[in-house]
Structure 1
């Protein structure tokens, strides 16, 4: 590591499941074989970070203490040994959810590396980007176009990419009705991407403020969540594609009432409880129900290219590094209508 780099850094540590984050002074990590060291400029604050802080993902106790954060943007400041085609020193890269994979299994070889049985995630098996410096596998280093502002761009690495990947998997044509359940940050990116693909966007949310935001982003039909929300969607033309960003199994009745024949229903929210899925409903309707999680390196590169040429006007609020635990509390309370992002210069 370069002599000009500090020996220690500030990091927001989750000491144990369910415990608040603690600001600590820790050693700057040393890049190992095939890795680069990144000095962070920004890092988005994601609902997944909240789930991990709250202990809702049942991680082994040995994973803690843990640095969370997986929407980081920063510049490469050091190379480890044997980095191959690593980005040059000074290159701005992203630090998304996927840290690395085996690169050899069928999912990895076919562009579905997020399904690799050996994949590791940033802020889960590996320390994340709620820190002044973080490591990145050179094989998974994706350059951030200079046209993308690092504050606006950080949430693209998970929230935006997740919406992009889910929509890429769905059968969408110009004029398709796309129903988005949950108009938080992920849902807002989905609105904009679906509109760019020529879809007619419909949104259900329980928060009137988020529905107002959805309308401002181009949603043509906005309905407050409730027992008859699905029927209202059906009356408005029905859904050809459904993206669920609402972390609750209670949405399933709404989905069943809302969809047209041969609908694609994409599960994206982290919902552990089962839903009453009828096999006859699938058979009679010809529906497809499948899951989608984050996205591959190629999808991220494609999406960043799109976002550089078509800026996505989702509200991103800059916070200081010291506010990160309070930011997670704000997400928990449901008061955040857009995205939160750490500005390490603030």
Structure 2
């Protein structure tokens, strides 16, 4: 007699466990190549070179993101050209801090992370200590132990990049990755500066510098009900400012302060011009109790009169990029209020040439790497 073959049946509970394990593994990772292309700066003043390096592996609490786009910022130019006086041991570095991409791998043991395939942003602020007073009170951009993407940590001029799960912010579906990438630094910086100022509907907001950041500032201020006065040396940028909603456009010359006063004076000033020469104009232009927010990185000192502060009741302060909550608020705003900046998509291979174009002043709007090109 031949033995009777009894088909093996997997217990229902074991089948469920196997299915759950397969789903978990699928949710934690996608196929990722062991090597990737990245634009490396080997030393201060060295050009960016696109080379193959190991694809980073996310540790606990980290995500691996496949880049779709990354904006090109003046800060990237400063870092490449060695103008930030970074320690030599930080090189070689991968710059780039306006990245958008999709999560493709989640570090083992990570909790509270977005799902595989979620589109997220990779901004300047990489992470902070999360424990100091600035971090606990919503001012994490002033954390003494913060690290920046493209400085202490490799940035987003690469096919893949790491992102701490606690700093992962989802990009709304209404925002295109190429059009939206500059929002993560240029747009966010303008948004945060205006959010910290006493901006009320109908007040006069003076935007000094009508380049990429200034253009975002013009549109955000106008959308919040302000009357915008744009100031720049470039007639073409002033014309662009008018097209974006500036009520008044004034050349940045020795008469600018008086011209601003004639146009109603400044209740809020946002300075995006990286020059100390803007300060005398500001002093002449402001109304009583004005807010002056400095954003541009100006290392030279400017003359500041204590009596001018006392008599005018002015507030003078700086603003640095934006917090996670600033980013969430701004992206929601941008999803509902399109900000039509002129953005030129470029292929990844042209990353270094793009920085050269910025250096020569040949970019009217923003440049953005499109990794699909």
Structure 1 and Structure 2 fold alike (TM over 0.5): yes
Partner of 1:20: 47
Contact 2:123 2:149 in 1 (8 A): yes
How much has 1:4 moved relative to structure 2?
Answer: 2.2
Contact 2:232 2:251 in 1 (8 A): yes
Name the SS for the 1:26 alignment partner.
Answer: strand
Alignment of 1:229-240 (within 5 A): 229-240=256-267
The CA distance in 2 between the partners of 1:19 and 1:99, in whole Å, is 24
Contact 2:295 2:318 in 1 (8 A): yes
How much has 1:277 moved relative to structure 2?
Answer: 1.1
1:263-305 Cα distance to aligned partner (Å, 9 max, x none): 0000100111111111111111110000001000011001101
Segments ≥4 residues shifted beyond 3 Å: none
Alignment of 1:55-66 (within 5 A): 55-66=82-93
Contact 2:29 2:106 in 1 (8 A): no
Partner of 1:4: 31
Question: Would you say 1:285 and 2:312 are equivalent positions?
Answer: yes
Q: Which has the larger radius of gyration?
A: 2
Question: Would you say 1:74 and 2:101 are equivalent positions?
Answer: yes
How much has 1:2 moved relative to structure 2?
Answer: 4.9
Partner of 2:213: 186
Name the SS for the 2:214 alignment partner.
Answer: helix
Indicate which of 95, 105, 109 corresponds to 2:122: 95
1:167-212 Cα distance to aligned partner (Å, 9 max, x none): 0000011110000000011000000000011000001101111101
Contact 2:29 2:116 in 1 (8 A): no
TM-score normalised by L of structure 1 = 0.99
The CA distance in 2 between the partners of 1:186 and 1:263, in whole Å, is 21
Question: Would you say 1:137 and 2:164 are equivalent positions?
Answer: yes
For these two proteins, the number of residue pairs brought into alignment is 346
How much has 1:5 moved relative to structure 2?
Answer: 1.0
Question: Would you say 1:246 and 2:278 are equivalent positions?
Answer: no
5+ residue gaps, structure 2, are 1-27
The CA distance in 2 between the partners of 1:334 and 1:232, in whole Å, is 26
The CA distance in 1 between the partners of 2:123 and 2:31, in whole Å, is 26
How much has 1:81 moved relative to structure 2?
Answer: 2.3
Name the SS for the 1:270 alignment partner.
Answer: coil
The CA distance in 1 between the partners of 2:29 and 2:129, in whole Å, is 29
Partner of 1:334: 361
The CA distance in 1 between the partners of 2:311 and 2:356, in whole Å, is 44
TM-score normalised by L of structure 2 = 0.92
Question: Would you say 1:150 and 2:180 are equivalent positions?
Answer: no
Name the SS for the 1:249 alignment partner.
Answer: coil
Question: Cα RMSD (Å) of the superposition?
Answer: 0.9
